[in-house]
Structures are given as C-alpha cells and as structure tokens.
Structure 1
Amino acid sequence: MKILIEGEDYLIDQLTTVFDDPKFYNQNANNGRIISVGYYHSFEKKELIYMLPKVFMKDNQETVFGISKDELYNFENNETFKHNEEYKWIRQLLVYFYNSLTEYKRRIKNTSIVESSLAFELNTNLGNEEYSYLDLLLTFVNFYKKNKTTILYKHIEYKSNQAKKPKWEKTIRKSLPILDSKSMPIYIEIKNKKKVINSEEELLIYFFSILNKFNIEHQLHLKIDTSYTLIKGNKFEQLEKNGLSKLRKIKHRYFSDTLRRMYVLCEMYFSKTDTSSSKKKKEEFISVRNYNIVFEDMVDKLFSDKLDENKEVNSVSLDELKYNDDGKIIDHIFDYQSLIDTSDIFYIGDSKYYKSGNEANKLSKYKQFTYAKNIIQFNIDLLNDNQVYKDNIKYRDEITEGYNISPNFFIYGYIKDYKNFDDNKLKPKNEEPVKSYHYQNRLFDRDTLFVHQYEINFLYVLKSYSTFNDSKIIEFRDTTKKEFRNKFINFFNNPESSKFKLFSKEVDSQEAKNLVENNFKLLNGKCYYSSENKLIIAKYENDDSLDNLINSNQFEIEKLIVSK
C-alpha cells in the first residue's frame, strides 16, 4: 500500500513503479506531480494506492501526520509510524476516504444538472454495480469478525463428525486441544486410520486462505486460528488462477446461510483474480481531478436543505442558481430565522478547499458577493410577481424599502488531529467578517453584505458523508444554524466590531410609513420595519445626522436576540 498526496511531486521512478497508467500525474523531467485524488489498485503489481487530498499537507511541506510526504509514501517501512496504534487511524481514514468517493459516485448520477461537465470530473473504470478490490477486502474482514464464532463452531463440529474410529491415545499424544469456558479439552485434529474428506472444510480452506492473504499483504493484524488448513505461497497464486472453476464444483454442497455467504465472497474474489478470461481488468480506480467539487458536495450534504425546484423566476429555479451549468456547486444554502426578527432568510455559504490553514483570496470573496446578490434578486423577483419562496421568508420591507440582512459564510476544511473523526471542531476562522457595501453607512441596503469565515474538521466531514443517517445530519444542522445566527447577532450587538448601533421603536405600520416618508433621504438604507412591528434604525459610527430623529422620537437601543 502506498499513500500519495494531491499536488505533490514524486520521483517519476516511484510513480511508474506503482501506476500502470500515467493519467494520475503530470511528468516534469524526473518528477511527477499528482493531479488526482482517489483510489487505485493494480492486479498485476498487486499494489493499493491512495491519492489523498491536499488538505493533508501543511504549508511547510510537512503532512498533517507529522512526517514528510516521502515518509508517508513509504510509511509501511517506517517502524515508528507503522506501529502507531497498529494502523487503526490510517485504516479508518482510508476506509472513510474510499467510501466518500463511492458516495460521490452514487450521488452525482442522481443529480439534476443537465449538460454539465460534472460527469467527466469522476474518472473510474468501475461500473455502478461493480465492486472493487478494496470492497472485497473490507467485506471479507467484516464477515470474519461478525461470524468467526459460528465458523469455528462449524469447523469443530465437522471435524468431530468426520472422525471414524478415533485413536484417542495417539490423538492426545500428538495434538493440542482447545479449552472451552469450563476448561474442558476439545480436540481439533483427531487421529484415525481412515481420512474422510470434509466437503464443507474445502470452502473453509479457500475462505481462510484468502483472508490470510489479505492479512499478510495489508497487515490487518487479524488473529486466524492455527487449526485451519491454509493454502499459501505459490500454491495460493495457482489457486487464484483457477479458483473459480474449483469453487464452482462444490457450489451445491452448502445450505447454511453463513456458508452460502462465505461461498459468494470466495466467488467474488476468484472472479477478480482468475486469469482464464482475457476480459479481466488489469487495474481499477476511482479518481477525481477537481476534488474541490467532492468537498463541496460533502459539506453541502451536511449543511444544505432540499430546495424547491418548482418555484421559478424566468424559468430559473433556486436549485438551478445553486448548480451551475459547468457542474460546479459553488454554495451551500439553507433558510433559517433572520437576524432582526422572526421571519426567515437564506444563509448562503461557500466551501473552500485549500491546504490546512490557507484562506480565500479576493476573487473567491467577490464570487460569494455576486452569488449572494443573485439569491437576493431571485427572491425580489418573486416578490415583484406577488409571490414568495416560502411564506415566512422576507427580503425587502415595503414600508422602508430596506433589505433584510443576508448572512453569508465561508467553510474551510482543516485537519489538526488526524485521529479525530467524531468532533466537527467548527469554529470561526476570523472574528471580523469580510465586508462589501455600496454605501458604508447603510446596513439595510441590498449591496451591504457580510461574510463570516469558519473552519471545520475535514475528517468529521469525511466520515459524515458516507456514515451519517438523516437524523444525525438534522441534529448537526440545527446546532450549526444556531451557531451561525448567534455569531452574526453578537457581531451586530457589538458596535465596536460592526460599526453600527441599532435603535428601535414599536410602532404600527402607518406611523412607521409616515416617519419614513417624512425622512426618506435621511433614512434610506438605514431602517427596516420588522415582522414584529418594530422600526429599526442602524446608526453607523460618527453618523450624527440621525441623532435628532432618534432622540426626538424616543427610539431605544435595540439588542438582537440570540437563538437558544
């Protein structure tokens, strides 16, 4: 097994040794740069290869595992690294990583994107109904762990039943027994004159020979009982070539569910390794060149609600605004309680796929502002047609012509503890949000936008993508939505950070209308009439023009309420 990292350079001699095809890297002189993320297995070279995302690299050319990329490539030869918790963490990581690729493969075939390049982003020679070498390895191990007691019992039972006229003196002298829970001896090997072939033992021999091969090649640290007869070395290589025909000769001998499942597993393995057919694959792989698309889908599955595809403006739905024709999913979107009242608003985000610790550039920030304005315009167009996306969603107030605040966020994947798959470690990346505005002193203007930035444990996202059920995802969303809203509220409740001080007064709609119309130029973009019948004024620092209006009309300081 070899582990490489996307975007990193390796000696070309190393890469040609493990890959049958150069499509996974770009060659430059004596080096090759990995351009794909994924899983690869060569049947001829008998090598498992993982190309991990660049988030596993730090800026100082060290991996998040605390070793260099070259040490990671040869990690099976590194004794210190190799025996770190007996590979538990690295095997867990690689299984989750592989499952994330297969989950993405499953999800994109159901996508509603039309005429996109997304289908070409995923590079694989495994069909939708096919399984990989790694699928087989994991299935064999899981089957053994779940059924080893039953298998051992059947092994002992058949050994006992096949014993004809046992010679107990010879058996006791030359065999070692197994002691049961009551310290009673059970003899596995019984000496007798006539050897009787156990037909069910033949299947057990095949199964445990395959399991032993997996155990040795991939250092799985499985304890296989020594009483089983195993086929090893050259004899096993010969069995791989003709095992399918041997297996099918004993196909109809098995009636137990456990043995029948065992037979199917052996059949699947030999169908992969049997060389009698010229159609057998020499390699198998699942890889993607633009892994940011996979990461975006991973985050999106965690964060985003299902969008209504039936609500359209000019034959364009919100779902189509989310998924571009080029196949790129540029955002995450969900509706939740707005910052200033009990109405709802869309929270709009974008996931950022970088090395651990990096931050979005100016271009990414401009794209986010543009996308947020598209969502705002979509809802305003519905309003102009006397429609709403949902009854409680409110983007513009007709009395003040002010716009509700649109919360925006960036999500970065990072790895701090490479063994931690269970804590999301979601935290703000910066205390101050990224800002965009046309008029700096107008909070309730459609061009005034704020983007908070967050980091999330990449390994948690990786695990959640293929293992979380709907209830666990909903639980994560509920908690995260509150965190995001409260982060914005705490920002606006602190005038030193936001530069705005909020004032409010509870008035009926007619009084609010009169006050705004009489002071429209002064209040334009600075006030909003909430769903709770409050006229809210946002006073920017040093904007003394509002002081007289606020004092004479007895406005009070407004504190936004956090979610509980």
Structure 2
Amino acid sequence: MKILIEGAYYPISTLQNIFDDPKFYTQNNLEGKIISVGYYHSFEKNELIYMLPKVFMIDDDNSVFGKTKNELLDLDYIKNIKHDLHYNWIRQSSLYFYNSLLEYRKRITDSQIVNKTERFELNTNLGDQEYSYLDLLLSFVNFYKKNKNHILYKHMEYNSNQAKKPKWEKTIRKSLPIFTSNNSPVYVSIRNKKKNINKEEELLTYFFSILKNFNKDHNLNLRIDKSYKIIKGDSFKRLQTNGLSKLRKIKYRYFNDTLKRMYALCEIYFSQTDKSSSKRKREDFISVNNYNLVFEDMIDKLFSDDLNNTQVNDVSLKDLKKNDDGKIIDHIYDYQSLIDTSNIFYIGDSKYYKSNSEAGKLSKYKQFTYAKNIIQFNIDLLNKDKKKAYKKGINYRDKLTEGYNITPNFFIYGYIENKENFDDHLITLKSKLPVKSFHYKERLFDRDTLFVHSYKINFLYVLKAYTNFNSLKTQDFRSEVKSDFRNNFIEFFNNPKNCEFEFYKCKLKTYESIITDNFKILNGKCYITNKEELILAKYTGKTIEEPIKKTILDQFKLINLK
C-alpha cells in the first residue's frame, strides 16, 4: 500500500512508475503534483494506492502526523505495520476514505467529477455491485470473518463423514484437536486406510487460496485454519489464469447459501485475473479532482440532509440553496432565532483547506451575499402574499419597525489534530469574534448587518459519520451542534465589549407611537418579536448618527438575549 497526499510534490519518475496514466498529477520539470483525491489499483503491479485529501497535511514541514511523504509512499517496507499503533490511523482512515468516495458516487449519481473506470458487474446474492479490487478484498475478508465458524463446521462435518475405519491412535498422535466449550476434543483431520478425494473441498481450496494471497500481499494478519488445503506460489499464479474455467465446472455442486456466496466471490476474482478474459481490467480507480465538493456533501449530510426534500409553499430547501444569481449555498437549515422563539435560517459554508488555513476575503464576501439572497427570497415571498411566508414561524422583516431579524452565518473547516479520534466531532470556534459586515454600524436590525462565525470540525469524525452513522446518531449530532451554534451567537451578543450592542425591551404594552414618532432615530435599531415585544439594540461605540434620546431609553429596560 502507498499513500500520497493531494497537493504534494513527488519525483516524476516515482509517479510514472505508480500510475499507468498521468491524469492523477501534473508535471512540473522533474516533479509531479498530485491533483486528485481517491483510490487506485494496478492489477499488473498489484498495488493499492490512496491519494488522501490535503487536510491530512497539518505540519509546516510537509509531513503527516510526523511521517514524511517518503515514509507514506513506501509502507510495504515497514515491518509489523499491522500491529504498529503509530500507523493505526492509516488503516482506519483509508477504509473510511474509500467508503466516502463510494457514498458520494451513490448520492450524487449525476455528478461528473467522480471518474471511474469500467467495472466488472455481476448480479449475485451479495447485491448488484461494481467491484473494484479493494471492494473484492474487503468482501473476501468480511465474508470470511462472518462465516468462518460455519465454513469450518461444514469442513469438519464432511471430513468426519468421509472417515472409513478411522485409526484413532494415529489420528491422536499426528493431529491437533479443536476443543469445544466443554473441553471435548474434535479432530478436523481423521487418519484412515482409505483416502477419499473430497470433491466438495475444491471451492474451499480456491476461496482460501485467494484469501491467503490477499493476506500475504496486504498484511491482513488473518488466521486461516491449517486444515484447509492452500494453493501457493507458481501454482496459484496458474490458478489465477485458468481458475474461472475450473470454477465453472463445479458450479452445479453447491446449493448452500453460504457456499453460493463464496462461489460468487471466487468467480468475480478469477474474472479479473483471467488473462484470456476480454473483461479483465489493467487498473481500477475512483478519483476526484474537486474534493471540496465531496467535503461539502459530507458536511451537508451531517447538518441538513433530511431537510433537502422538505417542501413548504411549493419551495424546498434544496431549491432554496440555488440562488437566482447562480450562487449555490453549501448548507442551510432553520432553527430558533437569536432574539425570540421564532425560527430563522442559519446559512453555512464548508471550507476545504489544509488544517491550519483560513478563508480569504472572497469567501467572506460570498458568504454575506448568500445571506442577503436568503433574506431577499423571504422578503419576495412576503411581498407576494403577506400571509404566505416560507414557513409559519419564520419572519425576516417586521412591518411596523421595518427592522430585519438577525441572520446567523457560519464557516466550517475540516481539521485533524488527533489521528486516532474518529468518534468525537470536536467542533470549536476558530475565533470568538465573528466576521462582521454592515452599511450602518449603529443598526443591528438592518438587512446589511451580518455576522459570520468560523468553526472547525474533526475531519476524521466527518469521514466516519458520512458512511457509518445511522439517522438517530446524526439527529443527535444536529440537535447538539445547532444548539451550540445558537448559544455561541447569544454569548457574543450578550457581551457589549465584543458585539458593541446592548439590548433593551420596551416596558410599555403599546409602543406604536414610540416607533412612529422617532422612526428616523430608531430605523434599523428596533424589532418586534413573535411575542409582540419591542426590542431595541443600542450601539455602544462612537456613533455618527443621531444618538437615541434618554426620553426614549427611559421606556426600555436592559436585557440579555436567551
């Protein structure tokens, strides 16, 4: 197995020796830069290659968790890699990573960014699947682990039935038994005078010979019972070329479901190694040149996947993500407003960079544009029919004050700090203070006053969650994180030193005259909640507009958001 990192440079001779096609890298003099993320396997060289995302590159010296590019490029020479805890992250992340590519291909069936070679297809009771070499390897290993006791039992049962006039003294002397739970010995191989050819064992021989070869080539450390006959060396190489014809001669013998699935796996394997087969491939791969789209989908599945088909008033959130100006929002969901119990849209943008990088000015500007587009969408609905908002309980503009509800925004970055942690999301704020955009700094309830918080999330958690989480676990994540995102905004706005605003609630039940008589002073600074409470946001910094008069403030009391 070899590991390369997206965006890293390697000697061009090394890359030419690994890949049969230069589509995975660009050449610059004597070096090549990896431009793809994905999985690759060459049947001629029999090598598994992973091109991991650049988020794994977290160190300034171009190393990954203390391992240099060259060390990751030559993993086959590391002794006992199967048991070395320093390399456990490779085994885990490579499998989750590969599964994430398959999941993305399944979810985005019409996407053109996932390139894949023609794959051998076979309808079996394992399901309709397109098998890559790694698919096949994993299927063999998983099948063996799930069925090894059943297969061994059938093997022992057959051997027992074939025993004619057993010689127990020789059997006990020459064979090692397997002990049951009550310490009773069971002999797998029984010595007798008559040697019977076990035709039923041919399939087991083929299966375990293939498994043994996988075990040797990829350091799987599987323990295969020695009672099975194994074909090795040159004999196995010959079997790879003619195994398909041999296998099909014995197909009629198997009716047991387990053996039929075993037969199907062997048939796929020999179909790929049979040199005379026109379907034989020289390589298989899945590669993505725009991995940011995969990362975006992984985050979206965590945050808002179940909302994509939620439709209200003939509009779904999936449609809402596609703005009229051509921009596409990464993530959007509705959740409790910051100032009352109504709901508001939270708008997110996933950022795919190296672990220690941050978004530039362009990304921040685009995020503010996304928010303005969503505000305008809801205002357009309100203008068409004042009783028909996107959804009951979502309100963006107050008719009396003409103030706009606060729209929360966030960036979310993937990062890796602990290479062993796949189970904790570790979402934290990158900065306590959000990025701010405004036309009038004194007006909080203005449509152009926007804030964006920046978060980072454990990339390994996202990788695992994308393919392993059930709906219940995903929902638990959403409930926790959405509450945290809101609370972080609340904490920011409840600190006047940070946000430069203080919040007041009107003491009077009838407050229309306060607004109409002082509309110019209060424009963009007031908002009426869904509980009919008038909220005032007073700017605490140096103002350029006319300050709010004391006679007005006397009608309000200082509050905290909650």
Identify the TM-score tier after normalising by the shorter chain.
over 0.9
Q: What is the CA distance between 1:308 and its match in structure 2?
A: 5.8
Q: What is the identity, as a one-letter code, of the residue corresponding to 1:360?
A: A
2:548 corresponding residue in structure 1:
546
Q: What is the identity, as a one-letter code, of the residue corresponding to 2:359?
A: A
Q: Confirm or deny: 8 A CA contact 1:507 1:533 kept in the other structure.
A: no
Q: Confirm or deny: 8 A CA contact 2:59 2:65 kept in the other structure.
A: no
Q: Distance in 1 between matches of 2:530 and 2:228?
A: 74
Distance 1:394 1:531, change over 3 A: same
User: Normalised by the size of structure 1, how large is the TM-score?
Assistant: 0.93
Query: In the alignment, does 2:76 pair up with 1:76?
Result: yes
Q: What is the CA distance between 1:39 and its match in structure 2?
A: 0.6
Tell me the secondary structure at the aligned position of residue 456 of structure 2: strand
Distance 1:185 1:319, change over 3 A: closer
1:489 corresponding residue in structure 2:
490
Question: Over residues 356-408 of structure 1, what are the superposed CA-to-partner deviations in whole Å (9 max), with x where a residue is unaligned?
Answer: 11111111000100111101100110011112110110000001000000000
| Aligned positions of 1:129-528 closer than 5 A | 129-304=129-304, 305-307=306-308, 319-323=318-322, 330-386=329-385, 387-508=388-509, 511-528=510-527
Q: Distance in 2 between matches of 1:413 and 1:332?
A: 15
Q: Confirm or deny: 8 A CA contact 2:494 2:560 kept in the other structure.
A: yes
Q: Percent identity?
A: 63
Q: What is the identity, as a one-letter code, of the residue corresponding to 2:369?
A: T
Q: Confirm or deny: 8 A CA contact 2:271 2:277 kept in the other structure.
A: no
1:50 corresponding residue in structure 2:
50
Q: What is the CA distance between 1:120 and its match in structure 2?
A: 2.3
Q: Distance in 2 between matches of 1:326 and 1:129?
A: 39
Q: Confirm or deny: 8 A CA contact 1:293 1:329 kept in the other structure.
A: no
Tell me the secondary structure at the aligned position of residue 120 of structure 1: coil
Question: Over residues 443-479 of structure 1, what are the superposed CA-to-partner deviations in whole Å (9 max), with x where a residue is unaligned?
Answer: 0000000000101000110111111121211111111
Tell me the secondary structure at the aligned position of residue 264 of structure 1: helix
Q: Distance in 2 between matches of 1:318 and 1:184?
A: 64
Q: Distance in 2 between matches of 1:86 and 1:522?
A: 64
Q: What is the CA distance between 1:188 and its match in structure 2?
A: 2.4
Provide the alpha-carbon RMSD of the alignment.
2.2
2:534 corresponding residue in structure 1:
535
Distance 1:253 1:81, change over 3 A: closer
1:25 corresponding residue in structure 2:
25
The number of equivalent residue pairs is 548
Q: Distance in 1 between matches of 2:60 and 2:329?
A: 29
Q: Confirm or deny: 8 A CA contact 1:6 1:53 kept in the other structure.
A: yes
Q: Distance in 1 between matches of 2:370 and 2:255?
A: 61
Q: Distance in 2 between matches of 1:418 and 1:516?
A: 57
Q: What is the CA distance between 1:193 and its match in structure 2?
A: 2.9
Q: What is the CA distance between 1:177 and its match in structure 2?
A: 3.0
User: Normalised by the size of structure 2, how large is the TM-score?
Assistant: 0.93
Tell me the secondary structure at the aligned position of residue 3 of structure 1: strand
Tell me the secondary structure at the aligned position of residue 534 of structure 2: strand
Distance 1:150 1:317, change over 3 A: closer
Question: Over residues 461-506 of structure 1, what are the superposed CA-to-partner deviations in whole Å (9 max), with x where a residue is unaligned?
Answer: 0111111121211111111110000000011011011010011115
Question: Over residues 71-112 of structure 1, what are the superposed CA-to-partner deviations in whole Å (9 max), with x where a residue is unaligned?
Answer: 1111332348664239543222111101100000001116xx
Q: Distance in 1 between matches of 2:55 and 2:327?
A: 19
Distance 1:469 1:181, change over 3 A: closer
Q: Distance in 2 between matches of 1:390 and 1:25?
A: 48
Distance 1:328 1:242, change over 3 A: farther
Q: Distance in 2 between matches of 1:226 and 1:188?
A: 10
Q: What is the identity, as a one-letter code, of the residue corresponding to 1:497?
A: N
Unaligned runs of 5+ in 2: 120-127
Q: Distance in 2 between matches of 1:191 and 1:59?
A: 62
1:116 corresponding residue in structure 2:
none
Question: Over residues 237-272 of structure 1, what are the superposed CA-to-partner deviations in whole Å (9 max), with x where a residue is unaligned?
Answer: 111111111111111212222222211221121122
Q: Distance in 1 between matches of 2:415 and 2:364?
A: 19
Q: What is the identity, as a one-letter code, of the residue corresponding to 1:66?
A: G
State which drifts further: 363-372 or 158-167. Answer: 158-167
Tell me the secondary structure at the aligned position of residue 374 of structure 1: helix
Q: Confirm or deny: 8 A CA contact 1:410 1:452 kept in the other structure.
A: yes
Tell me the secondary structure at the aligned position of residue 243 of structure 1: helix
Q: What is the identity, as a one-letter code, of the residue corresponding to 1:332?
A: H
Q: Confirm or deny: 8 A CA contact 1:39 1:98 kept in the other structure.
A: yes
Q: What is the identity, as a one-letter code, of the residue corresponding to 1:479?
A: E
Distance 1:87 1:209, change over 3 A: farther
Tell me the secondary structure at the aligned position of residue 115 of structure 2: strand
Q: What is the CA distance between 1:174 and its match in structure 2?
A: 3.0
State which drifts further: 203-212 or 123-132. Answer: 123-132
Q: Distance in 2 between matches of 1:326 and 1:180?
A: 71
Q: What is the identity, as a one-letter code, of the residue corresponding to 1:422?
A: D
Q: What is the identity, as a one-letter code, of the residue corresponding to 1:67?
A: K
Tell me the secondary structure at the aligned position of residue 440 of structure 2: coil
Q: What is the CA distance between 1:323 and its match in structure 2?
A: 4.1
Distance 1:465 1:338, change over 3 A: same
Q: What is the CA distance between 1:204 and its match in structure 2?
A: 1.0
Question: Over residues 38-71 of structure 1, what are the superposed CA-to-partner deviations in whole Å (9 max), with x where a residue is unaligned?
Answer: 0111111111110000000024134342211221
Q: Confirm or deny: 8 A CA contact 1:441 1:526 kept in the other structure.
A: yes
Q: Confirm or deny: 8 A CA contact 1:436 1:450 kept in the other structure.
A: yes
Tell me the secondary structure at the aligned position of residue 335 of structure 2: strand
State which drifts further: 384-393 or 265-274. Answer: 265-274
Q: Confirm or deny: 8 A CA contact 1:24 1:34 kept in the other structure.
A: yes
Q: Distance in 2 between matches of 1:242 and 1:193?
A: 33
Unaligned runs of 5+ in 1: 111-118
Q: Distance in 2 between matches of 1:257 and 1:224?
A: 21
Q: Distance in 2 between matches of 1:155 and 1:266?
A: 18
